[in-house]
Amino acid sequence: MPSTQTPPLAGTAIDPPSLRPPIDDAVIERVEPSALRERLSALKAEGYTMLLDLGAVDYPERTPRFDVVYHLLKMPARAASVSEVGKPARTRLLCAVDGANPRLPSVMDLWSSADWAEREVFDLFGIIFEGHRDLRRIQLPYDWEGHPLRKDYPTRGAARERSPRPAFANKMNVQAGTPPSGRTLEALQEQIKRAREADSK
Amino acid sequence: MSMSTQPLTPEIVSQEGNAMVLSMGPQHPSTHGVLQIMLEIEGESVVKAEPEIGYLHTGIEKTAESLFWSQAQTVIERMDYLAPSSNALCYALAVEKLLGVTDRIPERAQIVRVLLMELTRIASHCVWLGTHGIDLGAISVFFYCFDLRENVLDMQEATGGARMHPNYVRVGGLNGDLPDGYANRLDAFIEKFPGRMRELRGLLQANPIFQDRTIDVGILPIEEALKWNVTGPSLRGSGIAYDVRKAFPYCGYETYDFDVPTRTEGDAYARFLVRLDEMEQSHRIIRQARERLEKPGSVLLDDPKIVAPPKETIALSMEALIHHFKIVSEGFRVPPGDVYQSVESPRGELGYYIVSNGENRPYRVRTRPPSMYNLQALKGIAPGNLIADLVVMIGSLDPVFGEVDR
């Protein structure tokens, strides 16, 4: 039954969504990764024309570790006035994803807007969306290591230890050719190599 | 996208006959920030446009996780730097919902919040209109717009001390009542606005060059808008009257009398008209809020566990001193749970999905960034248009990169 209370996840102690006070912000459902696409397709057929948002939360002490959160909006496709829009229904779908091999089916073909949202979740949480046509990093440089919004990603310490990454060689625009300053890629790489050697001494 | 190893220039990535892969930005003056667009073009027309974002990523969501609930608001306010109050308000409303104090927020605080939201909408639309004008060669509009925005910024400075990020909206209400003389400034602004608006319309609305550049350019059909999750004025320009203020009212918006302007054409000109109409509706709401401001009252929640008691009381009361110390040194705690709260920011539905684990810091703050989803629609609407029109399309979607990249 749809409710405004999140159903608790079986066998877990740490799960803030299941402890939430009664707030009337959305109808909440939990769904298994295997049933995700089926449920979302059904909701879309029901009139949920907009995938309002797609995000993730990391609970490292919990199994399964991640929650991917879908917000859907039931918007009539032709609503030319405020009264026609009325009070649209909002549904929140929580899908728990395993931490060891975080994978979920992509919903990019159902709503194009999932494209960047899924890329962002992949970039910042490392969850792989199977079937996404162009799953690359979106916010961070493509050679970044680690997924910063995971709880175990350190926020303190030397920058190089956090993300061992050269200053800017190997970035796509440099690799693609001569940088505007006229220096060649080799010269840049040489310079970075020297800087790193000096650092390690 | 085919990419040869040796580009011809830094901008032209590859070329075969008439087809070319061109990199526009990230420092292009008309991309409104740091946006790079990889364009596949055939002669002058766009075959495929792939915006590349992330140049302004500052990790605000991650930073917020290591700050107190009240401190996090400071960084969150910096997401959409053209409408800081809408970010702060949305976050405050979400936290208040988790705390269960939504019904106890003083009425005067809600009135001032509405007032701030609408002022910020006018200021934000002024920046959009000014820069949109510049993109199309109408330079003078910019100065009229920034003059009007200046008045709003002056008022923002009066409330919070800072012009851009006043940090005036707080969890539980506002950081103090409006200062003396604010009402006079507001009256002067209310007085000045209609005339200025007439001038702005006069400069652009019937201008044949502006019309040539915007009418039938960047058409966003309804299906496309829903598919790409476009909200705000861009969605209303395509004919759907979805406005969070009407659909999910907050801060008592249901008690104000205003319309939701819509157009059905879905082109850049329609979005332009919707935003102008919206500014006038904001003016209408501001006038109503101004009348309600006559009634004095408290602007901060009376709950010492969440809001520090007034500074004057700490010399008189032991409890006040303790509460003050507790709030400053370790913040307030929020019961565990999650909540989604949205507001109508100048760009569309701005939402926060916030998770608390019962501590004094947010566990997770997920933003639903309206700019990001709106900008993504560029992939859908750009193909088939001319490169020169791409600038119009970006401008008419009004992205703010502080929010796109966060």
Domains and CATH numbers, chain A: 16-141 (3.30.460.80)
Do the domain assignments include residue B1? Answer: no
> Do B155 and B91 belong to one domain?
yes
Torsion sign across C-alpha atoms A43, A49, A51, A52: negative
What phi, psi does A197 have (nearest 5°)? -65, -40
Task: Give the helix ranges, DSSP H, for chain A.
Answer: 36-46, 82-85, 114-125, 159-162, 172-175, 185-200
Q: Nearest chain B Cα to A93, which residue?
A: B340
Q: What distance in Å separates the CA atoms of residue A137 and residue A122, rounded to the nearest whole number?
A: 7
Among candidate residues B374, B95, B102, the one with its CA nearest the CA of residue B225? B374
| Chains A & B: contacts with CB separation below 8 Å | 152
Contact A75 B243 (CB under 8 A): no
The amino acid that residue B57 corresponds to is H
Most confident region among B47-51, B137-141, B185-189 by mean pLDDT: B185-189
Burial of B77 (0-12, 13-18, 19+ CB in 10 A): buried
Q: Clarify whether residues B40 and B86 are in a common domain.
A: no
Q: Which residues from chain A sit within 8 angstroms of residue B380, using beta carbons? A: 112
How much is the pLDDT for B28? 65
- B358 contacts A16? CB cut-off 8 A: yes
Which chain B residues are closer than 8 Å to A49 by Cβ? 226
B41: in domain: yes
- Are B242 and B278 found together in one domain? yes
Tell me, yes or no, whether B71 and B100 share the same domain: yes
State the pairing for strand pair B36-42/B45-52. Answer: antiparallel
When pLDDT is averaged across residues B329-347 and rounded to a whole number, the result is: 89
Count of domains forming chain B? 2
Q: Are residues B244 and B192 in the same domain?
A: yes
* CATH assignment at residue B125: 1.10.645.10
> Do B79 and B211 share a structural domain?
yes
Is residue B248 domain-resident? yes
Burial of B181 (0-12, 13-18, 19+ CB in 10 A): exposed
- Single-letter residue type at B98: L
Q: Do B97 and A23 touch (CB under 8 A)?
A: yes
Exposed e or buried b for every residue in A21-46, given b needs 16+ CB within 10 A? eebebbbbbbbebeebbebbeebbee
In this model, does residue A1 exceed pLDDT 80? Answer: no
Residue of B nearest to A55 (CA): B366
Q: Flag whether pLDDT at B58 surpasses 50.
A: yes
Average pLDDT over residues B337-352: 91
Please, what is the Cα angle at A122 between B32 and B353, to 5 degrees? 70
Residue B2 inside a domain? The answer is: no
* Cβ separation B223–A71 shorter than 8 A: no
Q: Which of A50, A78, A163 to mutate to test the interface with B (most CBs of B within 10 A)?
A: A50
Average pLDDT for B215-220: 87
| Rg of chain A in Å (alpha carbons) | 22
pTM for the model stands at: 0.85
Decide if A118 contacts A135 (C-beta within 8 A). Answer: yes
In the structure, what pLDDT confidence band is assigned to residue A163 with cuts at 50, 70 and 90? very low
Model pLDDT, residue B112: 92
Contact status, residue B395 vs residue B132, Cβ threshold 8 Å: yes
Report yes or no: B221 at the A interface, CB cutoff 8 Å: no
Confidence check: pLDDT of A160 > 80: no
Per-residue pLDDT, averaged over A121-127, amounts to 89
Q: Judge contact between B165 and B83, C-beta under 8 A.
A: no
Q: Which residues of B32-41 are buried (b: 16+ CB within 10 A; e: fewer)?
A: bbbbbbbbbb
Provide the pLDDT for residue B354.
Answer: 92
**Tens digit of pLDDT for each residue in B14-32?**
677 777 788 887 766 666 6
Residue B313 or residue A199, greater confidence:
B313
- The minimal CB distance from A79 to the residues B240, B340, B406 is found for B240
- The CA distance from B117 to the nearest CA of chain A, in Å, is 20
Which is higher by pLDDT, A16 or A56? A56
Report the largest interatomic distance among the alpha carbons of chain A, rounded to a whole angstrom. 70
Do B36 and B108 fall within a single domain?
Answer: no
Residue B221 lies in a domain: yes
Give yes or no: residues B28 and B159 share one domain.
Answer: no
Domain that holds residue B354: 60-302+331-405
What does the pLDDT look like over B97-137, one tens digit per residue? 988 888 889 999 999 999 999 999 999 999 999 888 888 88
Q: B158 vs A117, B113, B245, B312, CA distance in Å?
A: 38, 15, 26, 22
Closest CA to B347 of B392, B389, B403, B276: B403
Short-list A101, A115, A80, A95, CA closest to A40: A95
Task: Determine which helix (DSSP H) or strand (DSSP E) holds B89, and give its type and residue range.
Answer: helix B84-99
Query: Do residues B196 and B160 both lie within one domain?
Result: yes
Q: Which residues in chain A have Cβ-Cβ distances shorter than 8 Å to B376?
A: 112-113, 115-116
- What are the angstrom distances between the C-alpha of A6 and each of B228, B233, B322, B342? 28, 33, 36, 19
Determine, yes or no, domain membership for B106.
yes
Q: Which of B229, B260, B339 shows the shortest C-beta gap to A82?
A: B260
Confidence of residue B209 (pLDDT cuts 50, 70, 90): confident
Rounded to two decimals, the ipTM of the complex is 0.84
C-alpha dist (Å) from residue B200 to A174, B112, B144, B277: 43, 27, 7, 12
> First CA to last CA across chain B, in angstroms?
27
List all residues 6 or more positions away from B326 whose beta carbon is below 8 Å from its beta carbon.
none
* Of the candidates A122, A125, A183, the residue with the CA atom closest to the CA atom of residue A150: A125
Mean pLDDT, range A99-120, rounded to an integer: 89
The verdict on B175 and B229 lying in the same domain is: yes
- Looking at the predicted structure, is the pLDDT value of residue B352 above 90? yes
User: A153 contacts in B (CB within 8 Å)?
Assistant: 62
Residue B331: which of B69, B58, B45 has the closest Cα?
B69
Optimal mutation site among B62, B254, B338, interface A, most CBs of chain A within 10 A: B338
Q: How far apart are CA B97 and CA B111, in angstroms?
A: 18
Residues of A in contact with B372 (CB under 8 A): 116
With cut-offs at 50, 70 and 90, classify the pLDDT of residue A162.
very low
Which tokens go with B338? 């999650």
Residue B4 falls inside a structural domain? no
Residue B6 belongs to a domain: no
- Extract the tokens encoding B122: 């006018």
Residue B164, C-beta contacts closer than 8 angstroms, at least 6 positions apart: B81, B84, B153, B156
> Which residues of chain B are within 8 Å of residue A143 when distances are taken between CB atoms?
none
Interface of B with A in 366-405 (CB under 8 A): 366, 368, 372-373, 376, 379-380, 405
Residue B366 has what pLDDT?
92
Same domain? For B86 and B18 the reply is: no
A201 min Cα distance to partner chain B (Å):
31
Q: Which of residues 313-332 of B touch A (CB under 8 A)?
A: none
- Check whether residue B341 and residue B256 sit in a common domain: yes
Flag whether residue B263 sits within 8 Å of chain A, measured between CB atoms.
Answer: no
Neighbours of A2 (CB within 10 A): 9
Measured in degrees and rounded to the nearest 5, phi and psi for residue B242 equal -90, 120
Chain A residues whose CB is inside 8 A of the B363 CB are 16, 57
Instruction: Name chain B contacts of A19, Cβ cutoff 8 Å.
Output: 335-337
Mean predicted confidence (pLDDT) in A148-154? 81
CB contact under 8 Å between B364 and A77, yes or no, is no
pLDDT of residue A9: 54
Residue whose entry in the numeric block shows the structure tokens 């900008």: B375
**CB B26 within 8 Å of CB B34:** yes
